[in-house]
Amino acid sequence: MKTDVKNVFIGLLNAIQAGKIYSEGHPTFKEFVDVLYRRLVEHLGEKREIILGIIEGELAWEDEIYFELSQRLKSLVEFLQECGINRIIFRPGLRPDELSAFITFLTRPGKRRSLESQETDELQGLENIHVGKLRAGAARPAKGDADRERHARYEGSLEFASRSLTAVLNKEEVDFLDLRFNILSVMENFMGRHQELLNLISVKEKDLITFVHLLHVSVLSMSFASKLGFAKDDVLDLGIAALFHDVGKLHISSEILKKEGKLADDEFARIKGHPLLGSMILQGYQDTLGILPPVVAFEHHLRFDRKGYPKVSYPRPPHVASLIVSLCDVYDALAQKRSYKTDCPPNKIHEIMNLEKGKLFDPALLDRFFQVIGVWPIGTIVMLTDGRVAVVREVNEQDIFKPKVEVVHPEATGEIIDLLEAKERVQVREALNPMGKGQKYLEHVFAGG
- Binding positions for Fe ion, rule: CB under 5 A: 246, 329
Indicate the residue among 11 and 308 with the shorter CB distance to Fe ion. 308
Q: How far apart are CA 105 and CA 93, in angstroms?
A: 20
Task: Provide, rounded to whole angstroms, the least separation between the CB of residue 186 and Fe ion.
Answer: 17
Indicate the residue among 296 and 445 with the shorter CB distance to Fe ion. 296
Task: Provide, rounded to whole angstroms, the least separation between the CB of residue 201 and Fe ion.
Answer: 16
Indicate the residue among 271 and 372 with the shorter CB distance to Fe ion. 271
Edge to edge, the sheet with strand 389-394 lists 416-418, 404-409, 389-394, 381-384, 428-431
- 130 φ, ψ (degrees, to nearest 5): -125, 140
Indicate the residue among 72 and 213 with the shorter CB distance to Fe ion. 213
Instruction: Give how far the C-alpha of residue 431 lies from the chain's centroid of Cα atoms, to the nearest Å.
Output: 28
Task: Provide, rounded to whole angstroms, the least separation between the CB of residue 253 and Fe ion.
Answer: 11
- CB count in 10 Å sphere of residue 365: 17
Task: Provide, rounded to whole angstroms, the least separation between the CB of residue 109 and Fe ion.
Answer: 55
- Look at strands 416-418 and 404-409 and give their pairing: antiparallel
Indicate the residue among 237 and 246 with the shorter CB distance to Fe ion. 246
Indicate the residue among 360 and 405 with the shorter CB distance to Fe ion. 360
- 432 φ, ψ (degrees, to nearest 5): -100, 125
- Look at strands 404-409 and 389-394 and give their pairing: antiparallel
Task: Provide, rounded to whole angstroms, the least separation between the CB of residue 299 and Fe ion.
Answer: 10
Task: Provide, rounded to whole angstroms, the least separation between the CB of residue 245 and Fe ion.
Answer: 6
Task: Provide, rounded to whole angstroms, the least separation between the CB of residue 300 and Fe ion.
Answer: 6
Indicate the residue among 16 and 282 with the shorter CB distance to Fe ion. 282
Task: Provide, rounded to whole angstroms, the least separation between the CB of residue 86 and Fe ion.
Answer: 32
Task: Provide, rounded to whole angstroms, the least separation between the CB of residue 349 and Fe ion.
Answer: 15
Task: Provide, rounded to whole angstroms, the least separation between the CB of residue 278 and Fe ion.
Answer: 8
Contact criterion met (CB below 8 Å) for 265 and 151: no
Indicate the residue among 220 and 408 with the shorter CB distance to Fe ion. 220
Checking 81-85 for CB contacts under 8 A at 24+ apart, the result is 81/54, 81/57, 82/113, 83/113, 83/114, 83/115, 84/113, 84/114, 84/115, 84/116, 84/133, 85/54, 85/115, 85/131, 85/132, 85/133
Q: How far apart are CA 434 and CA 408, in angstroms?
A: 14
- Report the DSSP beta bridge partners of residue 88: 52, 131
Task: Provide, rounded to whole angstroms, the least separation between the CB of residue 137 and Fe ion.
Answer: 21
Contact criterion met (CB below 8 Å) for 254 and 169: yes
Contact criterion met (CB below 8 Å) for 153 and 446: no
Indicate the residue among 130 and 337 with the shorter CB distance to Fe ion. 337
